[in-house]
Amino acid sequence: MRPLARRAVAPEDFPFLDRLRGHDDAAVFARVEADPLGFPWLDARERAKGPESTRGHRGRKCLFCPGSPGNPAPMRHDDFIGQVQARARLDSRGAAEAATRASLETLAERIPPALAEHLAAQLPREIGEHLRRVATAPDLPATGIRMTNEQFFARVSERSGADLPKAVHEARCVVEVTDEATVGSLTDKVRDALDDELADVLFAGSSGR
């Protein structure tokens, strides 16, 4: 296809060009090494402007700026499992791994596959794989499998090998850590995809009843 018209463009056609600036890679790397969570690593002149200069980053989660003050650095696999183990009061990391796998695989069966994949993308790779493995299964309906509250936790129990009350608590701990490991309103969408009764139990947290 041929263009209908052509027009030469010069720097003066961009009125705000003088306000743009590139990055000094060496300076950025040095600031990252000195303060990994200090994004956006303002220089003295910008810091003097106060909070207005960081609007869009400070005080809220930002999907595009991991490591910023409003968005902690991505959670690592070992940290995720360690948090599940501590909150569920499990004897070993292996038990925490089993609880995580069982809870997330069952959750992936229940919610739409596209939502499970979005959730997996924000989790540590090994953790997210529990969701992807189920979400990409050819026999999973596009809307997820409808199941009762009892059926959901029975599947978690069967997968993890824990008795039902313990499986319920472990699943709540996994979802609590998952919520803390992700940004934006993703877990709100997960909750919206569940029946109210199931959501109330699953999102009750490690200390909920």
* pLDDT given for residue 3 in this prediction: 72
Return the top range by mean pLDDT from 53-57, 111-115, 205-209: 111-115
Lookup: tokens for 66? 């991991």
* pLDDT given for residue 64 in this prediction: 38
* Nearest residue to 102 via CA among 188, 145, 146, 161: 161
* pLDDT given for residue 184 in this prediction: 77
Per-residue pLDDT reduced to its tens digit, 50-74: 444 343 333 334 433 444 444 456 7
* pLDDT given for residue 68 in this prediction: 43
Burial 98-124 (b: 16+ CB within 10 A, else e): bbbbbbbbbbbbbbbbebbebbbebbb
Q: For 106-131, what is the mean pLDDT?
A: 93
Q: For 84-98, what is the mean pLDDT?
A: 96
* pLDDT given for residue 30 in this prediction: 66
**Under the phi-then-psi rule, with left for phi > 0, alpha for psi from -120 to 50, and beta for the rest, what region is 113?**
alpha
Cis amide leading into 112 (omega within 30)? no
Mean pLDDT over the full length of the chain = 79
Asked if residues 88 and 173 have their Cβ atoms less than 8 Å apart, the reply is yes
* pLDDT given for residue 133 in this prediction: 92
* pLDDT given for residue 73 in this prediction: 61
Per-residue pLDDT reduced to its tens digit, 29-51: 666 666 655 555 555 444 444 44
131-72-174-93 Cα dihedral, nearest 10 degrees:
100
* pLDDT given for residue 7 in this prediction: 76
* pLDDT given for residue 1 in this prediction: 64
- Give me the amino acid identity at 102: A
Specify the DSSP class assigned to residue 81: H
Per-residue pLDDT reduced to its tens digit, 121-147: 999 999 999 999 998 888 777 778 889
Give pTM, 2 decimals. Answer: 0.66
Per-residue confidence band for 157, with pLDDT thresholds at 50, 70 and 90: very high
Contacts of 193 (CB under 8 A, 6+ apart): 110, 111, 112, 115, 144
* Nearest residue to 187 via CA among 67, 66, 61, 86: 61
